[in-house]
Copies of this chain bind each other. A is one copy, B any other.
Amino acid sequence: MNTLKRRPVGTAPRYRQIAQILRAAIGNGTYKVGDLLPGEIELCALYDISRHTARDALRLLTDEGLVVRRRRAGTMVTAPPGPATFVQPLGGFEDLLQYAGEARLRIIYYGPAPADGLAQTLDLLPDDWRELRGYRGKGAQTVGLTRMLIRKDCAPTGSDIDGASSVAGAIEARFGVVASRVDQRISALTLSSLLAQLLGAPEGSAALHTQRQYRDATGRLYLATETVHPADRFAYVTSYTRERPDIDR
């Protein structure tokens, strides 16, 4: 039957609705951790959808880590839904990996982007960007060296940045530009003599290298950051939990 059931405008796609129904069912205990969800074919019959749509719904749940799927075994619930800590709450992407304490930004330079700086590395036109360099630290101790490019048409003032907790946050507050997508890359790096000197660390020692790229709703890059943390002063510590916080004591 290829009857076209036009979905009313303004409603979510069918597969998202199904996913939400299943999330709710898991949440209210209809399906407990360890239980099997209905198979794809059963879902088709239950909700009058095609198998493809059922699979899309289940894919959402899989991506969220709520279920595990295995051939022949079926779809098993592995976690209750809810404001689990590992799902991004989308407040601000900046502190998704918890920083050890809050590392304040001390600005060294903030002005036109030199042609041989970060703009060159990222293959961007220097004229369209402002470059910022600074230290990340807590009190007197420096935990990292930061360099970033900010697109000119959404570059806050230095004092704007000084006050805000993060540059991305400052841009959002000042220009209303929100990150629609952030790509992050964490790698290791051997400190060059220049970096070592700036950080007061031994030349040739290891450091963490974090790069982030922030994009707006149209996919256009508007903020690119790069931070170097000496190995002995910084580590990313993340705690993933599947337990919901106990509300009632």
Binding site for B on A (CB under 8 A): 10-12, 16-17, 19-20, 32-34, 62-65, 68, 70, 73, 76, 78-80, 84-88, 90, 92-94, 96-98, 122-123, 172-173, 176, 178-190, 204-208, 211, 213, 215, 218-219, 221, 229-231, 234-243, 246-249
Question: Is the Cβ of B237 less than 8 Å from the Cβ of A178?
Answer: no
Question: Is the Cβ of A187 less than 8 Å from the Cβ of B231?
Answer: yes
Can you name the residue of chain B whose Cβ is closest to the Cβ of A59? B59
Question: Is the Cβ of B78 less than 8 Å from the Cβ of A65?
Answer: no
Question: Is the Cβ of B17 less than 8 Å from the Cβ of A239?
Answer: no
Question: Is the Cβ of B183 less than 8 Å from the Cβ of A237?
Answer: yes
Q: What residues on B are CB-neighbors of A204 within 8 Å? A: 190, 204
Q: What residues on B are CB-neighbors of A185 within 8 Å? A: 80, 87, 235-238
Among B64, B78, B90, B122, contact of A186 (Cβ-Cβ < 8 Å): B90
Indicate the member of A73, A88, A238, A239 with the most B CB atoms within 10 Å: A238
A3–B221 CA distance with the chains assembled, in angstroms: 43
A241–B62 CA distance with the chains assembled, in angstroms: 17
**Given contacts A10-B247, A12-B248, A78-B183, A93 and B242 within 8 Å (CB-CB):** yes
A63–B59 CA distance with the chains assembled, in angstroms: 13
Can you name the residue of chain B whose Cβ is closest to the Cβ of A76? B219
Among B181, B184, B248, contact of A243 (Cβ-Cβ < 8 Å): B181
**Given contacts A173-B70, A207-B206, A247-B10, A242 and B188 within 8 Å (CB-CB):** no
A108–B139 CA distance with the chains assembled, in angstroms: 46
Question: Is the Cβ of A234 less than 8 Å from the Cβ of B187?
Answer: yes
A235–B208 CA distance with the chains assembled, in angstroms: 10
Q: What residues on B are CB-neighbors of A20 within 8 Å? A: 246, 248-249
Among B68, B178, B231, B234, contact of A78 (Cβ-Cβ < 8 Å): B178
Question: Is the Cβ of B234 less than 8 Å from the Cβ of A184?
Answer: no
Question: Is the Cβ of B93 less than 8 Å from the Cβ of A65?
Answer: yes
Q: How far is the CB of A206 from chain B (nearest CB, A)?
A: 4
Question: Is the Cβ of A238 less than 8 Å from the Cβ of B184?
Answer: yes
Question: Is the Cβ of A240 less than 8 Å from the Cβ of B181?
Answer: yes
Q: What residues on B are CB-neighbors of A79 within 8 Å? A: 93, 178
**Given contacts A76-B219, A92-B87, A186-B186, A243 and B65 within 8 Å (CB-CB):** no
Question: Is the Cβ of B188 less than 8 Å from the Cβ of A243?
Answer: no
Indicate the member of A33, A65, A243 with the most B CB atoms within 10 Å: A65
